[in-house]
Amino acid sequence: MKINKINEMSSPELEKELSELKTELFKLRFSHATHGLDNPLKIKEVRRDIARIKTVLRKRELADANK
């Protein structure tokens, strides 16, 4: 997911996307542990998307606190 798309989303949408990505990460890790994945780099991509969303949410939280 691109950072531009993340910045355009509202905070509730980001929270929803974050929970979906965490669920997807769990499923990917489980699949990788049991029978392997076709594309193990997908785990890395999902982890980075989670980090991007958390960063944007935290940035917004700090901006609201400074107002």
Three-state DSSP at 10 gives coil
Q: What local confidence, expressed as pLDDT, does residue 19 receive?
A: 98
pTM for this model (two decimals): 0.92
Q: What local confidence, expressed as pLDDT, does residue 27 receive?
A: 96
Residue 36, phi-psi category: left (phi > 0), alpha (psi -120 to 50), beta (remainder): left
Q: HSE of 46 in the Cβ direction (CA atoms, 13 Å)? A: 18
Give pLDDT tens digits for 25-58.
Answer: 999 999 999 988 899 999 999 999 999 999 999 9
Q: Are 20 and 46 in contact (CB under 8 A)?
A: no
Q: What local confidence, expressed as pLDDT, does residue 36 receive?
A: 86
Assigned CATH for 3-65: 1.10.287.310
Task: Select from 58, 52, 64, 41 the least CA-distant residue to 17.
Answer: 52
Q: What local confidence, expressed as pLDDT, does residue 67 receive?
A: 80
Q: Where are the domains of the chain?
A: 3-65
